[in-house]
């Protein structure tokens, strides 16, 4: 799910007012935003996740990293952890082009690592797969699957930029995930004020945004499975997976502060529980 949900952008003037947070000790990087989230399914805290976004308009490079793992009873029944990371170039025309994207997923004791390499001209260079230390890279890839594609994190970064610059969540990019090609589409909902709670520290303005995966080619099942099944369950219930983005760092891109996914088994929420930027640790102010 994380590989589907991120986007960013810089603002020359703030789109939103800053939330009521207290400041803490200084960190190292001036451009790094670090978020911690807790995921609740049916009221149970089932997953912990972290997001790091290192981006600045004045820099030539950017990087994003998402990590998550199951916890509690779910962690015992279905032990899974994953890390998704991208680094790339921020070009003079404002466009972001990935250089390297890597996903590392561990199910029980089985680890799979997928690595994607790109050229600065936007070309797709290489793809490798390693499972349990063994090279499982396909001998040949259909060019139609990967040509003129990007990775999901960079696609999300473009939308986060739009939210920060214009307060608009709109964007669509085509992504290759190793087996399939799809279009990742972000659709603007409306601006919405969120209030902090015992689950979520964010208090302030946000932009509500729906996220949709549209299959294009590759190994898609006739009957939706995995993420597609979850997405269609939400559609049947009147809501695609939804992200609330907010501009917390005055000089950085907007970031997710809340996510909602409706399923046949209940509604899943992801809440922001901790936030730090490059200059200071930031936590919700005490009453």
Query: How many beta carbons lie within 10 A of that of residue 9, not counting itself?
Result: 28
Q: What is the pLDDT of residue 281?
A: 60
Cα separation, 187 vs 208, in Å, equals 9
How confident is the prediction along the chain (287 residues), in pLDDT tens digits per residue? 444 433 222 222 222 333 333 333 434 467 899 999 999 988 889 999 999 999 988 889 999 999 999 998 888 888 999 999 999 999 988 889 999 999 999 998 899 999 999 999 999 999 999 999 999 999 999 999 999 999 999 999 999 999 999 999 999 999 999 999 999 999 999 999 999 999 999 999 999 999 999 999 998 887 878 888 999 999 999 999 999 999 999 889 999 999 999 999 889 999 999 999 876 666 644 54
**What are the phi and psi torsion angles at 254 (to 5°)?**
-65, 155
Residue 49, both tokens: 């996740």
Asked if 88 contacts 154 with a C-beta cutoff of 8 angstroms, the reply is yes
Query: How many beta carbons lie within 10 A of that of residue 266, not counting itself?
Result: 13
Asked if 50 contacts 37 with a C-beta cutoff of 8 angstroms, the reply is yes
**pTM for this one?**
0.86
Provide DSSP, 98-117. EEEEEEEEEETTEEEEEEEE
Place of tokens 């999901």: 152
**Which of 183, 171, 177, 173 lies closest to 209 in space, CA to CA?**
171
User: Longest Cα pair distance anywhere in the chain, in angstroms?
Assistant: 60
Cα separation, 109 vs 107, in Å, equals 6
Asked if 124 contacts 146 with a C-beta cutoff of 8 angstroms, the reply is yes
The residue range of the domain holding 200 is: 2-284
Number of domains in the chain: 1
Cα separation, 252 vs 270, in Å, equals 22
Q: What is the pLDDT of residue 42?
A: 82
């Amino acid at each position: 799910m994380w590989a589907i949900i991120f986007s960013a952008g810089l603002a020359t003037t703030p789109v939103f007012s800053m939330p009521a947070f207290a400041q803490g000790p200084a960190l190292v990087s001036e451009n790094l935003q670090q978020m911690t989230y807790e995921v609740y399914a049916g009221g149970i805290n089932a997953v912990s996740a972290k997001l790091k976004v290192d981006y600045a308009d004045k820099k030539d490079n950017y990087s994003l990293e998402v990590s998550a793992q199951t916890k509690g009873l779910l962690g015992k029944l279905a032990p899974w952890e994953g890390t998704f990371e991208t680094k790339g170039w921020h070009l003079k025309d404002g466009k972001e082009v990935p250089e390297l994207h890597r996903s590392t997923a561990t199910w029980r004791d089985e680890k799979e690592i997928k690595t994607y390499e790109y050229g600065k001209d936007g070309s797709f260079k290489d793809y490798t797969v390693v499972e349990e230390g063994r090279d499982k890279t396909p001998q040949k890839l259909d060019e139609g699957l990967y040509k003129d594609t990007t990775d999901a994190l960079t696609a999300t970064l473009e939308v986060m930029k739009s939210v920060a610059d214009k307060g608009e969540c709109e964007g669509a990019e085509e992504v290759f995930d190793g087996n399939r090609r799809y279009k990742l589409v972000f659709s603007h909902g409306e601006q919405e004020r969120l209030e902090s709670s015992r689950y979520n520290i964010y208090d302030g303005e946000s932009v509500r945004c729906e996220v949709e995966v549209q299959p294009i080619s590759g190994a898609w099942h006739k009957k939706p499975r995995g993420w597609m099944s979850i997405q269609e369950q939400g559609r049947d219930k009147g809501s695609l997976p939804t992200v609330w983005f907010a501009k917390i760092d005055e000089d950085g891109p907007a970031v997710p502060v809340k996510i909602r996914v409706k399923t046949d088994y209940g509604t899943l929420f992801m809440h922001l529980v901790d936030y730090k930027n490059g200059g200071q640790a930031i936590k919700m102010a005490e009453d």
